[in-house]
Amino acid sequence: MPEAARNPAIPRFPVDGMVPTLNGTGFMFEVLDGYAEEWIHYAGRIADPVLDVGCAYGVATLEALASGARVVACDMEPRHLSILAAQATPSLRSRLTCLAATLPEADFGSERFGAILCSRVLHFLAGDDIDAAVASMARALKPGGRLYLVADTPYGIWRNFIPAFEAARRAGERWPGMMVGLQNYLPTPGIHRYIDRPAFMNLLDPELLARICADAGLRVRRASFINRTDFRGLGALDGRENAGVLAIKPE
């Protein structure tokens, strides 16, 4: 059963599979993408603890715990973490650690985790903060550890920003996705009520994610667009709604 339907503490949204956050920064997707699924599968196979950054209500964290992983779940909103902990059974809770922290200030330690997932968080940060956050996650990985990043692109709900993004790309701007005035680019009526906190978004694509990881000293294994056309309620999408990257910390 979808999380929003079974837990009255979690708000609802008219589009199935999208669950609003409690702090007005956007949504948690209940349908996991391939990068999150790969993180979950890998987390259950390794002895090292793993980290879920921006876990929201814990859709990926709970799956990783069920796979046998030890998970540190990090989110800027303590209420999300309370809901997550309450949903975990006692056996799962024994392998769950919750951390309330904000990027890029969060301190994840050094060479601690075998894998990190940071899904749909980086696009809320300015460019320098993205670089600092990914560098911090890279430090927190053990040698050989895996970093999975997922971010919004201009080709999903922000598709009205595509002309500005592509023009900035052609002009060689380092952060072409910096978007101010979010309400001017939203195609879905009423959605702005659930995204009222960010003053900006910094939309990314696979090439940008790969560059960020390489700058942090990681080896990029794969970077690609992510098809999220499962959210038909958002209009005519084209399969490039999110971007993801898998990067490895050198041994």
Chain-centroid distance of CA 89 in Å reads 24
Cβ count within 10 A of residue 174: 10
Q: Is the dihedral of CA 208, 24, 160, 30 positive or negative?
A: positive
pLDDT in tens, 184-194: 777 655 555 55
Q: What is the pLDDT at residue 124? A: 94
Closest by Cα among 111, 114, 133, 129 to 53: 133
Q: What is the pLDDT at residue 5? A: 41
CA–CA distance, 122 with 208 (Å, rounded to integer): 11
Chain-centroid distance of CA 184 in Å reads 23
Q: What is the pLDDT at residue 29? A: 83
8-state DSSP, 218: P
Q: What is the pLDDT at residue 14? A: 64
Cβ count within 10 A of residue 142: 17
| CATH number belonging to the domain at 3-248, selected among 3.40.190.10, 3.30.360.10, 3.40.50.150, 3.20.20.140 | 3.40.50.150
For residue 225, the surrounding DSSP H or E stretch is strand 219-226
CA–CA distance, 71 with 52 (Å, rounded to integer): 7
Q: What is the pLDDT at residue 129? A: 98
Q: What is the pLDDT at residue 8? A: 66
For residue 138, the surrounding DSSP H or E stretch is helix 127-140
Cβ count within 10 A of residue 12: 13
Regions of the chain short of the pLDDT cut 50: 1-5
pTM of the model: 0.92
CA–CA distance, 223 with 207 (Å, rounded to integer): 7
Q: Is the dihedral of CA 111, 112, 114, 117 positive or negative?
A: negative
CA–CA distance, 67 with 49 (Å, rounded to integer): 12
CA–CA distance, 112 with 139 (Å, rounded to integer): 9
